[in-house]
Amino acid sequence: MGVSSNRVEDFSSHHETSVRMSPESAEAVMVVAMPPVEIHRVCLPPSKTTFQKLRQRLSEIFFPDDPLHRFKNQSSFTKLVLALQFFFPIFHWAPTYSLALLRSDIISGLTIASLAIPQGISYAKLANLPPIIGLYSSFVPPLIYSILGSSRHLAVGPVSIASLVMGTMLNNAVSCSADPILYLKLAFTATFFAGWGFIIDFLSKATLVGFMAGAAVIVSLQQLKGLLGIAHFTTKMQIVPVLTSVFQQRHEWSWQTIVMGFSFLAFLLITRQISMRRPKLFWVSAAAPLTSVILSTILVFLLKSKLHGISIVRTTNLAYKFPDIGHLPKGLNPPSSNMLYFHGSYLAVAIKTGIITGILSLTEGIAVGRTFAALRNYQVDGNKEMMAIGFMNMAGSCSSCYVTTGSFSRSAVNYNAGAQTAVSNIIMASTVLVTLLFLMPLFHYTPNVILAAIIITAVIGLIDYEAAYKLWKVDKLDCFACLCSFFGVLFISVPLGLAIAVGVSVFKVLLHVTRPNTMVLGNIPGTQIYQNPSRYREAMKVPSFLILAVESPIYFANSTYIQERILRWVREEEEQIQANNGNALKCVILDMTAVTAIDTSGIDAICELRKMLEKRSLQFVLANPAGNVMEKLHQSKILDSFGLNGLYLAVGEAVADISSLWKAQP
C-alpha cells in the first residue's frame, strides 16, 4: 500500500478530506478482528502568527470568561449602558430595585451590622491597631463595594486572616507599642498596596485548610492574653513562646476576667452551635456578639469599682496624637492620605505586607462571593472583583481604614438573613455611621476580654476537621501540604507557613511533571479503544507491537526520565517475549494523546529515542499528537526524520497500517 504524499500538511492546503483505505489490515492484525480501517492524515493546527498566539494566550490568562462578549454586535448606546453596568454593577440592579427588596436588605443589613461592629473592633486589635480603625473600616469600604462589586451577598469589612497577617508582618518590622504612629502609617500604606493585590492561583484548597486552621489556633492562643487578663504577654506569634508566656505569667491571671471571659465564650459558642444546627436560627449567633458586648459593658460599668482586674478597650479614649491631624476626631473617618508612607526604609515591608494581605483578602473575597453566587446561580467575575476590592482598599487607605474584604461568616449571615443586593452593605455602613457619630461613648467600658471571646468564636469556624479528613481520604499529598502549612504557621511564623504551603503546592505540580505516569496499552477486542491491561483485563496486547502512553507534557524536567522509562518498557517487553517465545517486537507506538505540550528538550528526547530504537531495528511511531505538539515537531524539522508513516491519527490506525505494510513486504 503506497502513501501518496507528505503526511503532514498545513491545514489551509487540505480542503478535500484525505483518507486512505487499508483493506488488508483486517487480516494483517493478527489478534484484533476489526473492520477495514481508514487511515487519516495528521493535520497541523491552523497557522497563526506569533502576535496572534501571544494575544490569544494573554486573553486566556487574564480574561478566560471573555467579559466583553456582551458588547459584540450592539449599538453604541447599548454599549455605553453595558459599559456602565460593567464597571459599576450598581447600574445593573438599581433600575429594577423595589421596596420588597429593600425590606429584605434592611433586615439583613442590620443583622450584619450587629455582627460587624464587635468584629470590627476585635479584628483591629488582632492587627495591633486602635479598635476605632476597625469601625472606620466597616464604613467606607462597604459603601464602595456596593457600587463596584458584582456579588450580591458579600458582607464587606475587616477579616481575621488578613488582620492577623498584617499584624504579624508589620509588628516584626516596627513595634506597635514602641512607635504606634509609624505602625499606623505602615498599616495604611500596606492597605494601599493591598489594593494592588492580584488573583493568584497557587493557594490550593488543601493549603488554605491548613493555613486557616493554623492561623485560627494561633489567634485563639493569642486571645488567652485577654481571656486570662494577662498584662505582660509575649509579642511573638508561635505556639511555643505563647504557651510559655501564658504559664510563666500565671501570677497575672485575674479570676474576674477569667470568669467573665469563659462565661461569655460559652454563651457565644452555644449560640454558634444553635445556629449551625438550625440554619433558620441564624440570628441567634448573629445577635450574640453585640449582646455580649452590651451586657459586658453594662456589667463593667455597674461593677467598675469592684472589677479592677478587667482591662477595658477605651475606643473613644484613644490617646493617639497624630503628628499631622492631631487627636483622632470623634465622628466620621478622618482622611489619612497624608499618612501614606511612600519612601524610606520601611517601604519594602509595607509593600510586601500589602501585596500578601491583598492576595489573601482577594482570594477570600472572591471565594466567598463565588460560593454564594453558585447558590443563587449568578456569576461573579474575578477581574471585576479584583478591581472592586482593590479600589475599595486603596480608597480605604486614604480614609483611615485598613485591609478589608468579604468575610465568610458575615456573608453567610447576610445570605441567611435574606440579603438580595449590595444595599445590605449600605445599610450596614449606615448603622456603623450612626455608631461612629453617636454611640461611641457607650463602648467606653467595653472589656477587652469580650473581644477575645468574640475573636475565638469567629476563628474557631476556620478549623475544618472534616475537610482535612477528606483530604486524607482522597489525596495523601494534598493532606501533606495541608499539614505543612498548619504546622508551619504554628511553629515557624504566619508568612513563612504560607510560603511553605505555596511551596508544597507548587512542588506537587512539578512532581507530577517530573515523574509522569507511563503505561503499556492493549486493544479492547472489537473496538478501536486502547487501554492499560492492568486496569482493563479485556485489553489485549497486540503481538509485535509495544504501545506506550505518556501521561504528561514532555519537558526538560522529564525528558530524560521519559526516555529512560520508555527504554525500560522496551527492555522489559523484549525480556518477556524471550521468556514466552512470543513474536519478536518490531514496532513501538507512542500514544501522544495526553502529551499536551512539548519543549525543545522534549523534541530532542523524542528524536534521540527514535535513533536509539532504530539501532535496535525497532520502528518508532507517534500517534495522535496534540495541535501545538504537532506544530513544534513540524517547526523543529523532526518530522522529516520520522519520514512517511511516522505519524498516525490514532493508535488503531497505526496498528492497522503498519501491519498491512509488513504483510505487503514480508
Q: Between residue 556 and residue 575, which ones bind a second copy under the rule CB under 8 A?
A: 556-558, 560-561, 564-565, 567-568, 571-572
Q: What angle do CA 481, 487, 489 make, to 5 degrees?
A: 100
- Does residue 64 bind a second copy (CB under 8 A)? yes
Q: Among 74, 78, 317, 517, which residue interacts with a second copy (rule: CB under 8 A)? A: 517
Smallest distance from a second copy to CB 435, Å: 37
- Does residue 600 bind a second copy (CB under 8 A)? yes
Report the distance separating Cα 89 and Cα 83, nearest Å: 10
Number of residues in the chain: 666
- Does residue 374 bind a second copy (CB under 8 A)? yes
Assign residue 378 a region: left if phi > 0, alpha if psi is -120 to 50, beta otherwise?
beta
Give the N- to C-terminal CA distance of the chain in Å, as an integer: 13
Cβ distance to a second copy smaller for residue 40 or 444: 40
655: closest CA among 628, 663, 197? 663
Helix (H, G, I), strand (E, B) or coil at 124: helix
Stretch that binds a second copy, among 251-259, 353-361, 443-451, 623-631 (CB under 8 A): 623-631
Stretch that binds a second copy, among 102-110, 115-123, 155-163, 520-528 (CB under 8 A): 520-528
Smallest distance from a second copy to CB 86, Å: 16
Report the distance separating Cα 86 and Cα 71, nearest Å: 10
Cβ distance to a second copy smaller for residue 42 or 419: 42
349: closest CA among 167, 149, 160? 167
Smallest distance from a second copy to CB 510, Å: 7
Binders of a second copy among residues 188 to 207 (CB under 8 A) are: 201-207
- Does residue 20 bind a second copy (CB under 8 A)? no
Cβ distance to a second copy smaller for residue 255 or 378: 378
Residue 88 phi/psi, 5° resolution? -125, 85
Report the distance separating Cα 514 and Cα 254, nearest Å: 57
Cβ neighbours of residue 130 closer than 8 Å, sequence gap 6 or more: 124, 184, 315, 318, 320, 328
- Does residue 55 bind a second copy (CB under 8 A)? no
Cα-trace Rg, the chain: 32
Q: What stretches of 151-234 show up as alpha helix (H) in DSSP?
A: 160-173, 180-194, 205-222, 224-228
- The alpha carbon dihedral of 562, 568, 569, 574 has a sign of positive
- Does residue 627 bind a second copy (CB under 8 A)? yes
- Does residue 5 bind a second copy (CB under 8 A)? no
Cβ distance to a second copy smaller for residue 248 or 534: 534
Cβ distance to a second copy smaller for residue 298 or 509: 509
Smallest distance from a second copy to CB 369, Å: 12
Smallest distance from a second copy to CB 303, Å: 51
Cβ distance to a second copy smaller for residue 509 or 584: 509
- Does residue 474 bind a second copy (CB under 8 A)? yes
Cβ distance to a second copy smaller for residue 251 or 615: 615
Helix, strand, coil % over all residues of the chain, rounded to 5? 60, 5, 30
- Does residue 514 bind a second copy (CB under 8 A)? yes
Smallest distance from a second copy to CB 632, Å: 6
Give the helix/strand (H/E) hosting 322. Answer: strand 321-322
CB atoms within 10 A of CB 556: 14
Residue 430 CB burial class (10 angstroms; 0-12, 13-18, ≥19): middle
The answer to whether residues 225 and 452 touch, using CB atoms and an 8 Å cutoff, is: yes
Smallest distance from a second copy to CB 477, Å: 8
Binders of a second copy among residues 407 to 436 (CB under 8 A) are: none
Q: Provide the mask over 172-191, with x wherever binding to a second copy is found by CB under 8 A and - wherever it is not.
A: --------------------
Report the distance separating Cα 395 and Cα 339, nearest Å: 13
Cβ neighbours of residue 575 closer than 8 Å, sequence gap 6 or more: none
Report the distance separating Cα 122 and Cα 133, nearest Å: 10
Q: Among 6, 10, 57, 84, which residue interacts with a second copy (rule: CB under 8 A)? A: 57
Report the distance separating Cα 439 and Cα 442, nearest Å: 6
Q: Among 458, 489, 603, 618, which residue interacts with a second copy (rule: CB under 8 A)? A: 603
Smallest distance from a second copy to CB 537, Å: 7
Residue 263 CB burial class (10 angstroms; 0-12, 13-18, ≥19): middle
Cβ distance to a second copy smaller for residue 107 or 594: 594
Q: Provide the mask over 30-49, with x wherever binding to a second copy is found by CB under 8 A and - wherever it is not.
A: -----x--x-x--xxxx---
Q: Among 50, 75, 177, 617, which residue interacts with a second copy (rule: CB under 8 A)? A: 50
Binders of a second copy among residues 524 to 553 (CB under 8 A) are: 524, 526-529, 531-532, 534-538, 551-553
Report how far Cα 430 is from the mean position of its chain's Cα atoms.
32
Binders of a second copy among residues 119 to 148 (CB under 8 A) are: none
Longest dimension (CA), the chain: 108
Helix (H, G, I), strand (E, B) or coil at 222: helix
Q: Provide the mask over 333-372, with x wherever binding to a second copy is found by CB under 8 A and - wherever it is not.
A: -------------------------------------x--
Cβ distance to a second copy smaller for residue 565 or 663: 565
Smallest distance from a second copy to CB 569, Å: 10
- Does residue 70 bind a second copy (CB under 8 A)? no
Report the distance separating Cα 456 and Cα 311, nearest Å: 18
Cβ distance to a second copy smaller for residue 280 or 537: 537
Q: Provide the mask over 284-323, with x wherever binding to a second copy is found by CB under 8 A and - wherever it is not.
A: ----------------------------------------
Cβ distance to a second copy smaller for residue 125 or 632: 632
Q: Among 6, 52, 583, 635, which residue interacts with a second copy (rule: CB under 8 A)? A: 635
- Does residue 499 bind a second copy (CB under 8 A)? no
Cβ distance to a second copy smaller for residue 131 or 497: 497
Strand segments, DSSP code E, in 432-557 are 518-523, 530-531, 545-550
26: amino acid identity, one letter: A
Q: Position of cell 449567633?
A: 285
The grid coordinates of residue 283 equal 440570628
Report the distance separating Cα 488 and Cα 495, nearest Å: 9
The answer to whether residues 320 and 130 touch, using CB atoms and an 8 Å cutoff, is: yes
Helix (H, G, I), strand (E, B) or coil at 14: coil
Binders of a second copy among residues 206 to 225 (CB under 8 A) are: 206-207
Cβ distance to a second copy smaller for residue 174 or 504: 504
Stretch that binds a second copy, among 92-100, 236-244, 315-323, 589-597 (CB under 8 A): 589-597
Residues in a beta bridge with 37: 22
- Does residue 11 bind a second copy (CB under 8 A)? yes
Smallest distance from a second copy to CB 8, Å: 12
**What number of chain residues touch a second copy (CB under 8 A)?**
100
